Chains A and B, each alone.
Chain A
Amino acid sequence: MLKAVILIGGPQKGTRFRPLSFEVPKPLFPVAGVPMIQHHIEACSQVPNMKEILLVGFYQPNEALNKFLVVAQQEFKIPIRYLQEYAALGTGGGIYHFRDQILSGGPEAFFVMNADVCSEFPLLEMLDFQKHQGDTHSFIMLGATANRTQSLNYGCIVAKADTQEVLHYVEKPSTFVSNVINCGIYLFTPAIFQHIGEVFHRNHQQPFLEENINGWQRAEMIRLEQDVFTALAGHGRLYVFKTDGFWSQIKSAGSAIYASRLYLDRYNTSHPERLTHNQTEGPIIKGNVYIHPTATIHESTVLGPNVSIGEGVTVGAGVRVRESIILHGAVLQDHSCVLNSIVGWDSSIGRWARVEGTPSDPNPNDPHAKMDSETLFRDGKLTPSITILGCNVSIPPEVIILNSIVLPHKELTRSFKNQIIL
C-alpha cells in the first residue's frame, strides 16, 4: 500500500502570499476554484492502493482546515489527517517526527509533496519509473527543466544521463549548476528515515554548529533539500524523474493566478464540468473560466480567460473580468473592470471602477521559463505586479487601483497606483 504526505508549512511561512494568507492558510487558498492542496489530494486519490493522506504542518488546528478535511475525505473517499508539528521542523524534520504515523500499516512507499506547487502530479509515472529503475528501494524526485538564470532560484539537480541517478544536488546555488530543478514532489521508501535520522543524530551531537539566525532553529529542524538530498546525491539512492508536464511554484499571489491558468486549462480534460461554457443567455465566456454554482453573474458580463469566481460572488451588469481570482462574497458592481487581480473575500468594487495589475507570468516564448522569484520591491520601488485586494476592502465607484496591494478591511476613497495600502 501507499501513502502521501503534504507539507503544508505554517503561519510563519507564506509571507509572500500576504495579505491573502491572513484570512486563510495558504494551502487552502483557492486555485482554479478549489483549495490549493485539493489538487494534490485528488492526484493522490487516483493512485491505486493509496490508503491515507497526511497533512504535516505547524498550523494551530483551525476551523478552515478541519472543514476542509471533512469535505475532502467525503469527496475523495480516503482518510486524510492533519499532523501538527510542535514547531517548524523543516521539510524533513516534520516527516521524521511523524515517521511512526507515516509507516503505520506498512506502506512500501509514500509520496511527499510541497503544498505550494502546482503540477500535473505524474505520480503513476513516478511509481513506474521506480519500478523499472531496478532498485525498488530508490528515492525518486520529480524534476523539471528551467532556464539557466531561473534555475538559481530552485534546487538544482545533476543526474547521470542514462540512469537518471542524482549525482549532485544543491539548493538555490549562486552560480549555474544545472537546468534540471527540484519540483518538490518525491517518492520515498521507508528507508528515507534512516537518512533523515542520520542528520537528526548528527544535529543532536553538535547542536549549534550552524549559526542559529532565527532563534528557533533546533536540532530537530531538518531540511530535506540541503540536509538530506545533498548528502544522498552520488550514492546510488536518489533518482530524478523528469517531467515535461506543467509545473509552477505558488509563492506569491501572482503565481496563484498563473497556477489557476494551468489548472483551468487542464480541467478541459480532467474536469470539463468545472468550466463554464457560453450559453445563449448568460455571460460571455472567453477561454477557461470557473464559476462557483452559487455565484450570481449578470448575463451582460464578459469573463475570461483565466477567471475563477468563488462562492456567493455577485457580478453586476457590464462587468469585465480577465486573468483574475474573485474570492467568495465579493461584489463587482456594474461596468467595473478587473484585470490581473485577486479580489479578496467580501470586497466590493464600485461602478466603473478599474482594478488592474501587471501580470508577472513566465516569458511565454521560453518553454522552460518559470515564475520569477517575485520580490515586492526592486531598487526601493514596488515592482509592478498583480493587484491584490485583501478581505473586505471597498473600492469606490469610478476610481482606478493599479498595481497595488490593499490590506484587509480598508475603505478606499480615491485612486491608487503602485502602492501598498496599509
Chain B
Amino acid sequence: MKALILVGGYGTRLRPLTLSVPKPLVDFCNKPILLHQVEALVKVGVNHVILAVSYMSQMLEEEMKKQEERLGIRISLSHEKEPLGTAGPLALARQLLEENSDPFFVLNSDVICDFPFKDMMRFHKHHGKEGTIVVTKVEEPSKYGVVVYEAETGRIQKFVEKPQVFVSNKINAGMYIFSPKILDRIQLQPTSIEKEIFPMMAQEAQLYAMELQGFWMDIGQPKDFLTGMCMYLQSVRQKNPEWLHSGPEFVGNVLVHPSAKVGKNCSIGPNVTIGADVVVEDGVRIKRCTIMKGSYICSHSWLESCIIGWRSSIGQWVRLENVTVLGEDVIVNDELYLNGANVLPHKTISESVPEPRIIM
C-alpha cells in the first residue's frame, strides 16, 4: 500500500526552526515530525511512501535514504518545480499512485495524533466511495473550515469556512485515504484539495468523514507545537509509560533522551522533551518546553513554554517564557530575560527581550 505525504510547504509559521531544516524534519518529541507518520504507516502495511516536496529537498532526501533502509520500505521523492498546493502534488505523482488499484493515504505533514490508519482502511473499504477524510472535534469551530456530514454513514454534505453560526464542530484533520479514481479530478497545476476538489466530491457523494478518536493537533506553529507535545506525552503516559522519565526531580510527563544529562537540584516538568546530547546543569527549572538535540542549559535558569533549537546554549540565571523560540545554534548570555522572543539561527543574545518580538 502507498502513502503520499505533502511536505512541500515552506513551514513559515514554524520559523525560525524551519530556517534550518524543512518542517517534516523538525524534531517533535525527539523524532522528526515526518517519522511519526511514516512509522505509523509502516505498521499498517504501507510499503511505499511518496514525499511531495518542493524546497530544501536535499536534506529530506538524505534523511529518507537512511529511513528507507531502516524501515525496509520504498521512499520516493516527487519534486515540484513550483508549489502545487495540496492537490497538485497528487497529479504530479500520478504514475506512482496508479501502479495498482489499491487506495492510498494522503497526509499533511504536520499533524500529530494517534494515527488511525487501520480504521481508515476499514472505513474506506466499507463505504466503497472515492475518498475518506479524517475529521476531529474542536472547541471553537468558527476559527476553522468545518465539515458537515451524516452522523450514521459519515457521508459529507458540505464544507463551511469559518462558520458564524454553529453547523458542526468537526474539522478536516489533514489525513485522507483515496481510491486512484480521484486522480481523474486533479490537473497538474497548483490546486487546493480542500477548496477545489473536496467540495465537488462531496456534491457527488464520493467523500466520507471518519471521526478521529483521541488527541489531534496541527503542530505547524510554535504555540500549537507545544500544545501538541503535551498531548503526545500524555498519550505516551497511557500507552508506553516506560518511555517517560521519573525520579524526584521530574514532575509529570517528561521525555529525556538517553544521551542527555540532567544535573542535580533541577525540577523538570510537567510536559518537557529533552533531546539527544542535551546538557542541563544543576538547579534548572523547565516546564512545558522542547529542548532540541545538542543544546546546553546552564545552572539556575528557568524555562517555560519555549522551544530551544538544536545546539543552542542558555546561560545561567536566564529566564525564558511565553513561547520563546530559539532557532538553531542561538546563544543566550547569562542573566537575561526573554519573553516571547523569536530568535533566528546563529544569533548571540546579549540583551533582555522583555516584550515579544523577532530577533533577526
Residue from A317, A322, A400 within 8 A of B335 (CB atoms) = A322
Residues of B within 8 A of A354 (CB): 302, 317, 319, 337
- Tell me which residues across on chain A come within 8 A of B58, comparing CB atoms: none
Q: Is the interface of A mostly helix, strand, loop or mixed?
A: strand
Q: Which residues of A contact B321 (CB under 8 A)?
A: 400
A397 shortest CB reach to chain B, Å: 9
A318's partner among B265, B267, B354 (CB-CB below 8 A) is B265
List of A residues within 8 angstroms of B316 by Cβ = 302, 320
Evaluate whether A320 and B300 lie within 8 angstroms (CB atoms) in the complex, with A398-B285, A400-B319 already known: yes
Q: Chain A nearest CB: distance from B32 CB in Å?
A: 32
CB-CB under 8 A from B304, the residues of chain A are 398
> Size band of the A side of the interface?
10 to 19
Closest residue to B355 on the A side, CB-wise? A417
CB interface residues, B 304-322, toward A, < 8 Å:
304, 316-317, 319, 321
Chain B residue with the shortest CB-CB distance to A319: B300
Asked if A318 contacts B337 (CB within 8 A), the reply is: no
A322–B336 Cα distance when bound, in Å, is 12
For residue A220, which residues in chain B have a CB less than 8 angstroms away from its CB?
A: none
- A335 and B335 contact, CB distance less than 8 A: no
Whether a CB of chain B sits under 8 angstroms from the CB of A352 is: yes
Could you say which residues of chain B place their CB within 8 Å of the CB of A335?
Answer: 283, 285, 300, 302, 317
Closest to B266 in A: A335
Interface string of A310-338 (1 = CB under 8 A from B): 00000001111010000000000011010
Q: Is the CB of B335 within 8 A of A320?
A: yes
Residues of B within 8 A of A225 (CB): none
Q: Does B282 contact A (CB under 8 A)?
A: yes
Cα–Cα distance between A356 and B302 once the two chains are bound (Å): 14
Cβ–Cβ contact B335 & A339, under 8 A: yes
B332 to chain A, nearest CB (A): 14
Q: Per-residue CB proximity of A355-372 to B under 8 Å, as 1/0?
A: 010000000000000000
| Nearest-Cβ distance from residue A321 to partner chain B, whole angstroms | 10
Q: Is B179 located at the chain interface by the 8 A CB criterion?
A: no
Looking at the assembled complex, report how far the CB atom of A288 sits from the nearest CB atom of chain B, in whole angstroms: 18
Residues on the A chain within 8 Å of B282, using CB: 318
Partner of B265, one of A317, A322, A356, A398: A317
Cα–Cα distance between A339 and B319 once the two chains are bound (Å): 12
User: How many B residues touch A, CB cutoff 8 Å?
Assistant: 16
The answer to whether B337 and A398 touch across the interface, beta carbons within 8 angstroms, is no
Which residue of chain A has the shortest Cβ distance to B281 in the bound complex? A318
Q: Is A180 an interface residue (CB 8 A)?
A: no
State which residues 232-274 of B face A: CB under 8 Å.
265, 267
What CA separation (Å) do A352 and B304 show in the bound complex? 12
B354 and A320 contact, CB distance less than 8 A: no
Shortest distance from the beta carbon of A259 to any chain B beta carbon, whole Å? 23
A53 at the interface (CB under 8 A from B): no
Residue B37 lies at the interface, judged by CB distance under 8 Å to chain A? no
- The reply to whether the CB of A297 lies closer than 8 angstroms to some CB of chain B is no
Rounded to whole angstroms, the CA-CA distance of A334 and B299 in the bound complex is: 11
Whether A398 lies near B302 (C-beta < 8 A) is yes
Q: Bound complex: CA of A417 vs CA of B322, how far in Å?
A: 14
Indicate if the CB atoms of B300 and A337 lie closer than 8 Å: yes
Q: CB-CB < 8 A to A302: which residues of B?
A: 316
- Asked if A349 CB lies within 8 Å of chain B CBs, one says no
On whether the beta carbons of A334 and B354 are closer than 8 Å, the reply is no
Proximity bits, B272-314, A CB within 8 Å = 1, else 0: 0000000000110100000000000001101010000000000
CB distance from A192 to the nearest CB of B (A): 50
Q: Which residue of B lies closest to A338 (CB)?
A: B317
Q: List B contacts of A337 (CB < 8 A).
A: 300, 317, 319, 335
CA distance A317 to B319 in the complex (A): 17
Contact with A along B123-164 (1 / 0, CB 8 A): 000000000000000000000000000000000000000000
Contact A400 B337 (CB under 8 A): yes
In contact, A320 and B317 (Cβ under 8 angstroms): yes
Q: Is the pair A356, B300 in contact by a Cβ cutoff of 8 Å?
A: no
Q: A354-B302, A402-B354 are in contact. Are A334 and B283 (CB under 8 A)?
A: yes
Chain A residue numbers with a CB within 8 Å of B285 are 335, 351-352, 398
Flag if B283 contacts A317 (CB, 8 Å).
yes
User: How long is the Cα–Cα vector from A334 to B317 in the complex, in angstroms?
Assistant: 11
Binary per-residue interface labels of chain A (41-74) against chain B in the complex, 1 for a CB within 8 Å, 0 otherwise:
0000000000000000000000000000000000
Q: How far is the CB of A90 from chain B (nearest CB, A)?
A: 42
Closest A residue to B334 by beta carbon equals A320
Using an 8 Å CB-CB cutoff, how does the interface string of B337-348 with A read, 1 for contact, 0 for none?
A: 100000000000
Cβ 8 A contact of A352, one of B302, B335, B354: B302
Contacts of A351 in B (CB 8 A): 285
Among residues of A, the one whose C-beta sits closest to the C-beta of B283 is A318
Instruction: With both chains docked as a complex, state the minimum distance between the C-beta of B336 and any C-beta of chain A, in angstroms.
Output: 10
A319 partner residues in chain B, CB cutoff 8 A: 300
Residues in B neighbouring A352, C-beta threshold 8 A: 267, 285, 300, 302
Q: Chain A residues near B319: list those with CB within 8 A.
A: 337, 354, 400
B215 to chain A, nearest CB (A): 27
| Interchain nearest-CB distance for A239 vs B (Å) | 46
- In the bound assembly, the distance between CA atoms of A281 and B337 in angstroms comes to 30
Contact with A along B1-27 (1 / 0, CB 8 A): 000000000000000000000000000
Which residues of B lie under 8 Å from residue A417 when comparing CB positions?
354
Question: Chain A's nearest CB lies how many Å from the CB of B313?
Answer: 18
Q: Chain A, 128-142, contact with B by CB distance < 8 Å: what is the 0/1 string?
A: 000000000000000
How far is A400 from B317 in the complex, measured between Cα atoms in Å? 12
Name 22 interchain pairs, CB-CB below 8 A, sorted by A.
A302-B316, A317-B265, A318-B265, A318-B283, A318-B299, A318-B300, A319-B300, A320-B300, A320-B316, A320-B317, A334-B265, A335-B300, A337-B300, A352-B285, A352-B300, A354-B317, A354-B337, A356-B337, A398-B285, A400-B319, A402-B337, A417-B354
Q: A302-B316, A356-B337 given; name 16 further pairs at CB < 8 Å.
A: A318-B283, A319-B300, A320-B300, A320-B316, A320-B335, A335-B283, A335-B302, A337-B300, A337-B335, A351-B285, A352-B267, A352-B300, A354-B319, A398-B302, A400-B321, A402-B354
Sort A-B residue pairs by CB-CB distance and give the 10 closest, nearest first.
A318-B283, A337-B317, A320-B317, A335-B300, A318-B300, A352-B302, A352-B285, A335-B283, A354-B319, A400-B319
